[in-house]
């Protein structure tokens, strides 16, 4: 079982968290950021990332603005007001989930 398998379902809160933390990011930047943070262990594929970003945009949680830097077009994503609320909730839920997970993964007495 690869590390990747565990990522299922967690991509969305991870992206929201990164946007919360950094203000605005573009897609490719997100993939590189996660890769760097996890020493290459976790890799967000573009085939998963872009459709998810589009979904978040169409549901109003993020908004985009296009910027051109040295002839490179980048689409920057940032949280909307709705997105900020949703992110806070999602991260609360995820933290609870991780605590439960740790509980299961620790040696048990029960």
List residues binding its own copies (CB under 8 A): 1-3, 5-10, 12-14, 17-18, 21-22, 34, 36-38, 41-42, 89-91, 93-98, 100-105, 107-108, 110
Report the distance separating Cα 62 and Cα 19, nearest Å: 9
Give the DSSP letter string of 28-61: HHHHHHHHHHTTTSS---HHHHHHHHHHHHHTTS
DSSP 70: T
Report the distance separating Cα 59 and Cα 52, nearest Å: 11
Q: Which does 48 bind (CB under 5 to 8 A by kind): its own copies, DNA, none?
A: DNA
110 binds DNA (CB under 7 A): no
Report yes or no: 16 and 79 within 8 Å, Cβ to Cβ. yes
32 binds DNA (CB under 7 A): yes
Return the residue of 9, 39, 99, 110 that touches DNA, per CB under 7 A. Answer: 9
Binding site for DNA (CB under 7 A): 4-5, 7-12, 26-29, 32, 44-48, 50-54, 69-75
């Amino acid at each position: 079982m690869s590390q990747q398998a565990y990522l299922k379902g967690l991509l969305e809160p991870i992206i929201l968290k990164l946007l919360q933390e950094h203000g605005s990011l573009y897609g490719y930047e997100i993939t590189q950021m996660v890769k760097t943070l996890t020493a290459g262990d976790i890799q967000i594929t573009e085939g998963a990332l872009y459709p998810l970003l589009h979904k978040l945009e169409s549901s109003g949680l993020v908004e985009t603005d296009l910027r051109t830097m040295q002839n490179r077009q980048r689409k920057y994503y940032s949280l909307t007001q709705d997105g900020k609320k949703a992110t806070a909730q999602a991260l609360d839920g995820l933290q609870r989930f991780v605590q439960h997970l740790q509980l299961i993964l620790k040696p048990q007495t029960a």
